[in-house]
Amino acid sequence: MSADLRSTGGRTVLCAADDVPPGRMLRVVTGDAGPLLVSNVNGTIHVTDDTCTHAEASLSEGDLEADRVVCPVHWAEFDLATGKALCFPASRPLAVYRAVVEDGMVVAFLARRSA
Ligand code: FES
């Protein structure tokens, strides 16, 4: 599932918070930052790149397990809060973006916090 992007003044509205209930993930296609992964870990929203750093799979098609996303292709795992690659075959982290929920919408600040 993908959502549309709306961007104003450095803040980017990615989706409605209701689109990503606890335990779910959503792929959001952006212009400048590329596809993003919005995930909800026990009520905490995380925004990372959606593309696996190993071989470019869409992580939104993988599994959300606790606070990790598992790649659907070769099963690398990434910490959604830090972007850290947790196991082979991925070694490079995901970019992580600051995100907040405002007025029921997920808003991201797309300057990279990590890469
Ligand atoms: S494409 Fe994700 S682990 Fe290989």
49 pLDDT more than 70: yes
| CATH number of 94's domain | 2.102.10.10
Q: How far is CA 74 from the centre of its chain?
A: 18
Range with lowest mean pLDDT among 7-16, 35-44, 83-92, 97-106? 7-16
The response to whether residue 110 sits with its C-beta less than 6 Å from ligand 1 reads no
Is residue 100 situated within a structural domain? yes
Is residue 1 situated within a structural domain? no
Is residue 14 situated within a structural domain? yes
14 pLDDT more than 70: yes
101, two tokens: 């929920």
The response to whether residue 87 sits with its C-beta less than 6 Å from ligand 1 reads no
What is the Cα Rg of the chain in Å? 13
The response to whether residue 69 sits with its C-beta less than 6 Å from ligand 1 reads no
pLDDT in tens, 28-39: 998 767 899 999
pTM metric for this prediction: 0.89
- The range of the structural domain enclosing residue 15 comes to 6-114
